[in-house]
Chains A and B, each alone.
Chain A
Amino acid sequence: MENLIALLIAAPLLGAVVLLCGGRRLDRTGHWLGTALAGASFLIGVVLFAGMLGESADERTLHQRLFSWIPVEGFQADIAFQLDQLSMTFVLLITGVGTLIHIYSIGYMEHDERRRRFFGYLNLFLSAMLLLVLADNYLLLYFGWEGVGLASYLLIGFWQHKPSAATAAKKAFLVNRVGDIGLSIAIMLMFTTFGTFAFGPVLGSVGETGEGTLTAIGLMLLLAACGKSAQVPLQSWLGDAMEGPTPVSALIHAATMVTAGVYLIVRSGAIFNAAPDAQLVVVVVGAVTLLFGAVVGCAKDDIKKALAGSTMSQIGYMILAAGLGPIGYVFAIMHLVTHGFFKAGLFLGAGSVMHGMNDEVDMRKYGGLRKHMPITFVTFGLGYLAIIGFPGLSGFFSKDKIIESAFAKGGAEGWILGAVTLLGAAITAFYMTRVMLMTFFGEKRWQPDAEGHEPHPHESPRSMTIPMIVLAFGSVFAGGFFGIGDRFLNWLEPVTGYDHGHAPISAATVTTATVVVLLIGVGVAWLMYGRRPVPVLAPRGSLLTRAARRDLYQDDINHAVLVRGGEHLTRSLVYVDHTLVDGVVNGTAASVGGLSGRLRKMQNGYARSYAVSMFGGTAVLIAATLLMRAV
């Protein structure tokens, strides 16, 4: 059974190699090959899952050791995999959603002449992401971590002829690099502290380690998670990453890669449990980001950027839950899975809308599309109801649990976090309703473009609608399936542990409050965007709206602090280099030159002057000898 684990990764990797090295002759069949291998990986995942269900809860972890990667005395790194319930959840999500998005891309990328390469990159992403979640040590996880970063870079910049896409890809890569430094420092700290970086020994010997070291490791892991999962302060790349093709946004920047940070924190749960200070920082980051993303999502007119703000906010929920410790780990992952369904569905819906609207992304130029794209409307609508947490749908079960856990943290912290998550739920309802109303309801607002082509909104081909329908099913039923009877909790508890916490208010109260804030959010959005027509040109808006449109000045802050600061730093370094370092070097050279110029004069070629120095030297020597004798 465990021999299948490597095949999970090998299948998409084979696809990536064949598609990227195969050349033009694969142009007509490449996308089928890529999709088939992604599907094969999913089937292997299902087989492994079925095998895992057959075991008892404590014996479900599988290990496979392929070979020794870096065998050095005192430094052992293996290519070895660990498949437990947590990895399994990710494997099914990655390969399942991944396969659906491969199918969707067949239709979406039909007219792109570089489609084969696109599928190669997608397969590369799948194999790297699977490596990330299946690794049994932090070093191999880091390998996968960098792999998904590379795939993300290649796919964001897939339309590299657009300068904006090329810039966005570079931005994502650079910001991620900051987080990656955190991960590499964390791994180095682990190696110096524990002498190894395999999950088992590291997480098992946490009890014998000082809290200071664990806090440092935890904070570095959090930095890594912030980079990959677009959390404050490393959030700025996600909005621009929407320059990539929409299936990429759905797969990488909504469902899977951006959740790697949550995986990292949950996987390293033992470290965070023993370092409450690090946990507190995790919670703060999650809370800040969930409001940050939500506020940004409210102001964006670009449908994909609005969804990107929402992704940031929902991952903020997951990070917050992961920071709560054993109270929240399970629910962080549960929200991650349901979010994978509905957010991927929403992005695919957005892609379908763009497909029908000549790649227009401005929601102010949509309006009334429900008549033209019924399937997209229904699937997008179900995803919408799921994300705002409409009772009975996926998001309701998972988000409600996170809000309960936040309250269950106890004390003032619990109240603050509970309030923040409730506020976030209200804003989520507001901005998603806004997206929904501006896109599918109201009057048509589209106009002919500069060349006089009026868009003719139409339903997308079946290869695109079928994945959307499947994901809509997931959006509707996954949450209930996981939540009712605590199925998901029982499944993950052996890996992550679980703690009830001390809830100050009953679950029913929390649920009622959630539904109330949800209705308030929807109501406000309807008053602003449903009851009166949406202007085609964006009004100036309030101070907050304008700030949110500019992503709450994230780029301005980065520019002012990091870019300007960096420029000043380099400028002063250059100045020091020119004056101090060059001064010392040039001064030494000049003084040596001057001195030798003087000394040169002694070599004048007159035999008599040489004779004088010889006689003088001899006289001095004799005098010195006599003096020494006398003394």
Chain B
Amino acid sequence: MNPVNYLYLAALLFTIGAAGVLIRRNAIVVFMCIELMLNACNLTLVAFSRMHGNLDGQIIAFFVMVVAAAEVVVGLAIIVSLFRSRHSASVDDASLMKL
């Protein structure tokens, strides 16, 4: 199969993730969309690695996964404590600006 198709898929996934971050209010969903974008990037890296016959991209994909796992831990902790104090997981409710 032509590896370029993986790139199309990755672009589609990234766009879905970005749209989710911009549109959805629920912090959990926004968070999952960020993961989706990260994984789209991973897919791109692996695809390029395959296309160029070079292992660098796969190695970076592992790094990204590690960082994403760490991020999930911190991010979920923040969301949980936010929900406890505000009884809402909406990202818009977290604004404290006086407009």
Contact = CB atoms under 8 A, between A and B. Distances in A.
A607 B22 contact: no
B97 interface: yes
Contacts of B1: none
Interface string A586-623: 00000000000000010111111001100100000000
B96 A615 contact: no
B71 interface: no
Interface stretch (B5-13, B59-67, B87-95): B87-95
A612 B95 contact: no
Given A615-B18, A615-B22, A608 B99 contact: no
The 4 tightest CB contacts between A and B, nearest first, are A605-B95, A605-B97, A607-B91, A606-B92
Given A608-B91, A608-B92, A601 B99 contact: yes
A611 B21 contact: yes
Interface in B1-44: 18, 21-23, 25
A612 B22 CA distance: 7
Contacts of B97: 603-605
Given A601-B99, A605-B95, 7 more contacts: A604-B99, A605-B96, A605-B99, A607-B92, A608-B25, A615-B18, A615-B22
A604 B91 CA distance: 13
Contacts of B18: 615
A591 B73 CA distance: 47
A604 B95 contact: yes
Contacts of A605: 95-97, 99
B22 to A, nearest CB: 6
A605 B96 CA distance: 7
Contact of A611 (B22, B95, B96): B22
A603 B99 CA distance: 9
B21 A608 contact: yes
Contact of B22 (A601, A604, A608): A608
Interface in B53-99: 91-92, 94-97, 99
Contacts of A607: 91-92, 94-95
B22 A606 contact: no
22 contacts: A601-B99, A603-B97, A604-B95, A604-B97, A604-B99, A605-B95, A605-B96, A605-B97, A605-B99, A606-B91, A606-B92, A606-B95, A607-B91, A607-B92, A607-B94, A607-B95, A608-B21, A608-B22, A608-B23, A608-B25, A615-B18, A615-B22
Contacts of A604: 95, 97, 99
Interface residues of A, number: 10
Interface of B: 18, 21-23, 25, 91-92, 94-97, 99
B10 to A, nearest CB: 16
A605 B81 CA distance: 19
A270 B94 CA distance: 90
B24 to A, nearest CB: 9
Interface of A: 601, 603-608, 611-612, 615
Contacts of B95: 604-607
A606 B99 CA distance: 11
Contacts of B94: 607
A597 to B, nearest CB: 12
Nearest to A603: B97
A599 B33 CA distance: 30
A612 B19 CA distance: 10
A615 B14 CA distance: 12
A606 B18 CA distance: 16
A510 B99 CA distance: 99
B86 to A, nearest CB: 14
Contacts of B91: 606-608
A626 to B, nearest CB: 15
A336 B22 CA distance: 100
A604 B95 CA distance: 8
A246 B21 CA distance: 99
Contacts of B25: 608
Contacts of B23: 608
Nearest to B23: A608
Contacts of A611: 21-22
Nearest to B25: A608
Contacts of A603: 97
Contacts of A615: 18, 22
Contacts of A612: 22
Nearest to B96: A605
Nearest to A612: B22
A615 B92 CA distance: 18
A615 B95 CA distance: 20
A603 B25 CA distance: 18
B5 to A, nearest CB: 22
A529 B23 CA distance: 113
A612 B91 CA distance: 14
A45 to B, nearest CB: 86
A607 B97 CA distance: 11
A604 B96 CA distance: 9
A604 to B, nearest CB: 6
A605 B25 CA distance: 14
A605 B94 CA distance: 8
A615 B22 CA distance: 9
Contacts of B92: 606-608
Contacts of A601: 99
Contacts of B96: 605
A615 B97 CA distance: 22
Nearest to B91: A607
Contacts of B21: 608, 611
A607 to B, nearest CB: 5
A614 to B, nearest CB: 10
